[in-house]
Structure 1
Amino acid sequence: MAQAIDLPRNEDGIASALGILKQQFGDRFHTGQAIRDQHAHTTTWLTPQPPDAVVFPTSTQEVSDIVKVCATHRVPVIPYGTGTSLEGHVNAPAGGVCVDMTSMDQILAVNAEDLDCVVQPGVTREQLNTYLRDRGLFFPIDPGANASLGGMASTRASGTNAVRYGTMKDNVLALEAVMADGRVIRTAQRAKKSSAGYDLTRLLVGSEGTLGLITEITLKLHGIPEAIQAARMSFPSIDAACQAVMTTIQYGIPVARIELMDELNIRAANAYAGLDLPETPLLLLEFHGSDSAVVEQAEMFGSIAEDVGGFDFEATGSTEERNKLWQARHDLYWATMLLRPGAQGVATDVCVPISRLAEAVTSAQAKAAELNLLSPIVGHVGDGNFHSLVLLDMEDADEVARTEEFTAYLAEEAIRMDGTCTGEHGIGQGKIKYLVKELGAAVEFMTAIKGAFDPLNIMNPGKIFGPHQG
């Protein structure tokens, strides 16, 4: 595994804090090795670093009580949602207390007339959408995993619907959060816009638990579309597929989802889901709107794609067929793992301007081939974001080194193309070294903010900036 960052431990403070929290929380306080290991395990390839204890609060007040104890004894606090993060966000490099939000799973209010709702951080996106379905509403952010909404806000998640509905930063109206001294703040009201002071909502969204612990989220909602049309089309090359994406966006076709799957992914999907797609690059799309509008939009895309060499076009409004196609996309992680049974998957993502997308993807494919790595690529290409999943033997030190070289190459190439080293996975521990390359002196102002919000550096330390922060 890749080496994670280590930080000095405050052994006396940890012992004192754990004694107090054990008394306060009883059977919702755990120090067993198995549960601690579970709370250090995500889909990252970084070495797990378990916390010293895991606590399960059920209210904002209890989160505040935990943070106050930890602040008094200078003990790290690490928030935990569902463990689907990818860059070591829940590791505890200095030990400390993991605050598991899964018991804070209540949908507190749905304001259908205003198209918003208020939820606790442990609510998952699937749970919310199941609850909303009978009201004709849905929450559109879909990162693939059934992540908690608190975790999605903390990492500024996005996913397949981002090209139309935006990311978490566009869909969070307000937050309640426990700050580093245990005080509870609210960042905004339910109004759809405000120019009242600094935008603390957007500051906390994407802060990865380094500034405060999110305990309540006010989210934008959308009406379930009257009709949904899915479409797919194969292409002779990545370049042709990316050209179709650019033209579709430039024409202003209101596509809801537009996903790129490369040849390796199609091979995996065919085997896993029993499909018979041509094993060439494929675009998978979805259109939302009225019955007539979605058909027209799909036809317009088909015409655009044919002009750049697209073939084997298919569009369907059938819920069953549409779900089958998208289930294949959502199951892609497990499907691609079968390309190399027994291997571990290392996922990484970057995002570039869509005019550089074809160059970035083909460059990634060429680099993987040069390094003799098996690395399928899939992308939310309507906004230039793509993911690479390297399948490797973690016991092979040379292969691990080549994988590290590959992920570094992807990040640095994306930055060179005026893109970002992470479109939606976050920095965590895994991409700390690329942040300064991407943003330069701006990182100094970020660390100043961290120091002002968290002078003791107890809030998820060792993430985003590394050991020297605040």
Structure 2
Amino acid sequence: MALEAKAPSAEDAREGVEAVIAALRARFGERCATSQALREQHGHTTTWLANQPPDAVVFAESTEEVAEVVKVCAAEHVPVIAFGTGTSLEGHVNAPRGGISIDLSRMNRVLEVNSEDLDCRVEAGVTRKQLNSYIRDTGLFFPIDPGADASLGGMAATRASGTNAVRYGTMKDAVLGLTVVTADGRIIKTGGRARKSSAGYDLTRLFIGSEGTLGVITELTIRLHGQPEAISGGVCPFPDVEAACQAVIMTIQMGLPVARIELLDSLQVKACNTYSNLDLAETPTLFLEFHGSEASVKEQSETFSGIAEEFGGGPFKWATVAEDRSKLWAARHDAYWSGRSLRPDAQVVATDVCVPISRLAECVTQTAADIEAESLLAPIVGHVGDGNFHVQVLVDLNNPDEMRKCEAFIERLAIRALDMEGTCTGEHGVGQGKQKYMRREHGDALELMQSIKQALDPHNLMNPGKILPQS
């Protein structure tokens, strides 16, 4: 199915871009920037894919300003790419057809907090750490925590999750409503503050995970949670990754309400020891955390200790002091950077998959064997409580042989997960990097996605070249 009308000639397209930039400069002044360095920054970020910068960057400060930019671009059929903090890993903010990057980082206000209803309304540029700092004194917290301090708008656009997902869910569970600027510049609101509704299509979930291809998210109404009375956690070593994964499977199948359960293979533990000044045994290790009352977290920790012993794991070392727990989880969130320290002259090609929990051990052990067989330097780390794990392949991007080996490994990993009835990406999103697997994963449903894209964005202006093949 065609996703756009006949493309304008190169000359007409260039004239359209120049007209848009002139109009945006007249309206926004210095907030419309065209420097090469700034454009490259907004077109590349942490991805390993080739840099494809936009033609200009506009720093918007309100929903109405975003709508203005989109209307100007729509009039000339110039693409629009939303930009949050630039922490995506699959080329989400690249601009393969040029266009205007709308930087939402200045839209960073917490608009209201409704403590009694456990929700809040924020602008899209608010980051997860900023929100939790803002609401700390209310006794509430926002649990979705991807490794980076991402913007909440970007987290919704990519359907992000993190270490707490096994208990608190992902962004699709956290977002109650959105304000979105559509491809023609309209401002619409989806959902609301009610905890459930039977009225109409669920447009909120349609935009969550759409990666900016259907509209620009500018505000979010978000579900909050009460800070737990007690938290316990710590680390538990295992003889191998299979034993660690089997312990995770039993933990979940028994219904133990673990808040976080994270796997680090021996190589990742080594990296964390060096980068984050830990002193863990360099063997496959689970990081865990339990939330609840004093009695319940003690019981949960003891139950897990028994499970670990069944698979040769332990001892489960409790981190009883809050500062010690914070140090552990800071190390986990810094896994990307600690992984890079294993080979400072290389770059990270990060990828992730997710499988049904019953297939977790099989998928991780086969992946570990694949890494060893190919002699790759590639630590494994994952949110294994929901079957999601990540691999960080350290390669020289300028070495064709290394890149071919890396890309072949990533393809085998994605297909392995799909063959196990999983997904090619549980958390990073599709962007440009995972497009090739969309047909295999979704089959004929891909045509329905393309129909939705065509209906909402007939000229394919919203973040073109992402998610849908040939878009």
- TM-score, with length taken from structure 2: 0.97
> Is residue 245 of structure 2 the alignment partner of residue 239 of structure 1?
no
Query: How far off is 1:422 after superposition?
Result: 0.2
CA distance in 2, matches of 1:175, 1:167: 16
Shift of residue 370, structure 1, vs aligned partner: 2.0
Alignment of 1:381-460 (within 5 A): 381-460=384-463
- Listed as ranges, the matches of 1:304-343 within 5 Å are 304-343=307-346
Q: Using the TM superposition, give the Cα deviation of residue 369 of structure 1 relative to its aligned residue in structure 2, in angstroms.
A: 1.9
Q: Secondary structure at the match of 2:316?
A: strand
Residue of structure 1 in register with 2:305 after alignment:
302
Question: Runs of 5+ in structure 1 lacking a partner?
Answer: 1-6
CA offsets, 1:205-248, max 9 Å, x none? 00000000001100000011111101211111111111111111
Match of 1:47 among 50, 67, 71: 50
1:164 corresponds to: 167
Contact (CA 8 Å) 2:438, 2:469: kept in 1 or not? no
Distance between the aligned counterparts of 1:242 and 1:443, measured in 2? 32
Residue 349 in 1 paired to residue 344 in 2? no
Distance in 1 separating the partners of 2:172 and 2:275? 34
Q: After the TM superposition, which residues 17-416 of structure 1 pair with which residues of structure 2 at under 5 Å, given as runs?
A: 17-416=20-419
Residue type matched to 1:404 in 2? E
Letter in 2 for 1:235: F
Residues 104 and 123 in structure 1, CA contact (< 8 A), matched pair in contact too: yes
Q: How does 1:2-13 map to 2 (within 5 A)?
A: 10-13=13-16
Letter matched to residue 314 of structure 1 = K
CA shift, 1:466, in A, is 3.1
Rounded to whole Å, the distance in 1 between the matches of 2:94 and 2:14 is 17
After superposition, the CA RMSD in angstroms is 1.1
How far apart are the structure 2 equivalents of 1:207 and 1:14? 25
Give per-residue Cα distances to partners, 1:306-343, cap 9 Å, x unaligned.
11111232113310111121122122222221211211
Which residue of structure 1 lines up, in the alignment, with residue 4 of structure 2?
none
Gaps of 5+ in 2: 1-6
- Preserved contact between residue 236 and residue 285 of structure 2 (Cα < 8 Å): yes
Offset from partner CA, 1:57-87 (integer Å, 9 cap, x none): 1111111111111111000000000000000
The answer to whether the 8 Å contact 1:262/1:377 transfers is yes
Amino acid paired to 1:333 = Y
- Provide the C-alpha distance between the structure 1 equivalents of 2:326 and 2:350, rounded to a whole number of angstroms: 24
Q: Deviations over 1:2-26 (max 9, x none)?
A: xxxxx98621211111111111111
The structural deviation recorded for 1:372 is 1.9
For 2:265 and 2:320, locate their aligned partners in 1 and report how far apart those are by CA, in whole Å.
24
Q: Distance in 2 between matches of 1:108 and 1:47?
A: 37
Q: Deviations over 1:123-168 (max 9, x none)?
A: 0000000001011110000001000000000000001000000000
Deviations 1:346-402 (A, max 9, x none): 100000011111111111111122222111000100000000000011121100010
Paired with 1:283 and 1:401, the residues of 2 have a C-alpha distance of: 32
Deviation of 1:278 after TM superposition, in Å, equals: 1.7
Q: Is the 8 A contact 1:231 1:298 kept in 2?
A: no
CA distance in 2, matches of 1:195, 1:286: 35
Give the whole-Å Cα distance in 1 for the aligned partners of 2:174 and 2:276: 32
Q: Percent of pairs identical after alignment?
A: 62
How many angstroms does 1:202 deviate by? 0.3
Matching residue of 1:3: none
Cα distance, 1:277 vs structure 2: 1.6
Q: Verify the 8 A CA contact 2:161 2:170 in the aligned structure 1.
A: yes
Q: 1:190–1:218: 8 Å Cα contact kept in structure 2?
A: yes
Letter in 2 for 1:434: Y
Q: Deviations over 1:401-437 (max 9, x none)?
A: 1000011111111000000000010000000000111
Q: Distance in 1 between matches of 2:305 and 2:123?
A: 42
The amino acid that maps onto 1:26 is G
- Tell me, in whole angstroms, the C-alpha distance in 2 between the residues paired with 1:182 and 1:416: 41
Superposition misfits of 4+ residues, deviation over 4 angstroms: none
Q: Secondary structure at the match of 1:324?
A: helix
Alignment partner of 2:247: what SS?
helix
* Aligned-pair CA distance for 1:295: 1.2
Q: Match of 1:311, SS?
A: coil
CA distance in 1, matches of 2:196, 2:321: 37
The secondary structure found in structure 2 opposite 1:259 is strand
Counterpart CA distance in 1 for 2:158 and 2:436 is: 18
In structure 2, C-alpha distance between the alignment counterparts of 1:220 and 1:171, rounded to whole Å = 5
Partner Cα distance (1:246, 1:284) in 2: 15
Question: Structure 2 CA distance, aligned partners of 1:236 and 1:184?
Answer: 55
What secondary structure sits across from 1:187 in the alignment? strand
Q: Which amino acid aligns with 1:459?
A: M
CA contact (8 A) 1:377 1:389 kept: yes
